[in-house]
Amino acid sequence: MSNSAEQLVLPLPARLALGRDDFFIAPCNAMAVHQLDAWRDWPHQKLALIGPTGAGKTHLAHVWASQTGAEIVDVFDIDIPRLENAPAIVVEGAENVSGNPAAQEQLFHLYNAMNASKRPLLLTGQTPPARWKIELPDLVSRLSAMPLVHLETPDDALLGMMMVKLFSDRQLSVSPELIAYLLKHMDRSYGDAVALVQALDRAAFSQKRPLTVPLAKQILAGLHGR
């Protein structure tokens, strides 16, 4: 890595997600990471992880699953008999039970099963359960008692550090000018950062061009469909 690229690396620790890239810890997600690390102390072994699209909920859920052995399921794919031996469970997109009585019923029964067996349950969603449209009163009461932790949208420091690391993993050095340009024009999420680095790597290799702002402009235009 060049000296200029090294200057962009911030002294923040990283967590390795199961089968995924490093999950970097920064002020915008540090509280959520702390709460997931302390899962043995969750009230009634339940927690709702809340954050906007691209804030890293799925990534962090996989980190937690690697620690606990949790099964990860979509809210519409809850199969209680299949999950009865799972040591912990993550339900992703839990807010999508809104307006879906059948999905609400399944989530209600899963909650009760996890409660009876004292196994940890993590729900992810973009908004707090209090804002979900749930017609099942018993589910409302259970979800309203769940503690919440919020993930914020990644800030420039976190995204910049992440991209430098992703480029470095591919043995590519980048200038501060390129990172600054990407941060100004990219979509602001972990997934978008990974996709952008991959696209730039492929383009630089196939076109035999260095990683420059003009190449980044070309790739961003293609990714955004302009």
- Quick one: pLDDT at residue 165? 83
Percent of the chain whose pLDDT exceeds 90: 62
Looking at residue 61, which CATH number applies to its domain? 3.40.50.300
- Quick one: pLDDT at residue 225? 64
Q: Assess contact for 25 and 195: CB atoms under 8 A.
A: no
- Quick one: pLDDT at residue 35? 94
Instruction: With respect to residue 20, please indicate whether it lies within any of the assigned structural domains.
Output: no
Range of the domain at 138: 29-150
Instruction: With respect to residue 76, please indicate whether it lies within any of the assigned structural domains.
Output: yes
Q: Are residues 110 and 87 in the same domain?
A: yes
- Quick one: pLDDT at residue 185? 92
Q: Are residues 143 and 213 in the same domain?
A: no
Domain-ending residue, one of 150, 174, 204: 150
Domain-ending residue, one of 94, 115, 150: 150
Residue 111 in tokens: 């909650």
Q: What is the pLDDT of residues 131-173, one digit of tens each?
A: 999 999 999 999 999 999 998 877 888 888 888 888 888 888 8
Q: Give the pLDDT mean for 93-120.
A: 96
Q: Are residues 119 and 218 in the same domain?
A: no
Closest to 97 in 3D by CA, of 132, 126, 130: 132
**Phi, psi for 47 (deg, rounded to 5):** -155, 145
Q: Are residues 90 and 128 in the same domain?
A: yes
Q: Are residues 41 and 145 in the same domain?
A: yes
Tell me which residue has tokens 């061009």: 209
Q: Give the pLDDT mean for 38-49.
A: 95
Rounded to two decimals, the pTM is: 0.74
Is 153 or 76 the better-scoring residue by pLDDT? 76
Q: How many domains in the chain?
A: 2
Instruction: With respect to residue 140, please indicate whether it lies within any of the assigned structural domains.
Output: yes
Instruction: With respect to residue 66, please indicate whether it lies within any of the assigned structural domains.
Output: yes
Q: Are residues 47 and 134 in the same domain?
A: yes
- Quick one: pLDDT at residue 8? 32
Residue 73 in this model has a pLDDT that exceeds 50: yes
E strand or H helix that includes residue 1: none
Residue 5 in this model has a pLDDT that exceeds 90: no
Band (119; pLDDT cuts 50, 70, 90): very high
Instruction: With respect to residue 4, please indicate whether it lies within any of the assigned structural domains.
Output: no
Q: What is the pLDDT of residues 12-36, one digit of tens each?
A: 343 433 334 567 777 888 899 899 9
Give the lowest-confidence range in 1-10, 25-34, 97-106, 196-205.
1-10
Looking at residue 175, which CATH number applies to its domain? 1.10.8
Instruction: With respect to residue 9, please indicate whether it lies within any of the assigned structural domains.
Output: no
Residue 7 in this model has a pLDDT that exceeds 70: no
Cite the beta strand spans of the chain per DSSP E.
14-16, 22-24, 46-50, 71-74, 89-92, 121-125, 148-150
Instruction: With respect to residue 142, please indicate whether it lies within any of the assigned structural domains.
Output: yes
- Quick one: pLDDT at residue 201? 92
Residue 1 in this model has a pLDDT that exceeds 60: no
Q: What is the residue-averaged pLDDT of the chain?
A: 86
- Quick one: pLDDT at residue 22? 60
- Quick one: pLDDT at residue 223? 78
Q: Give the pLDDT mean for 96-114.
A: 96
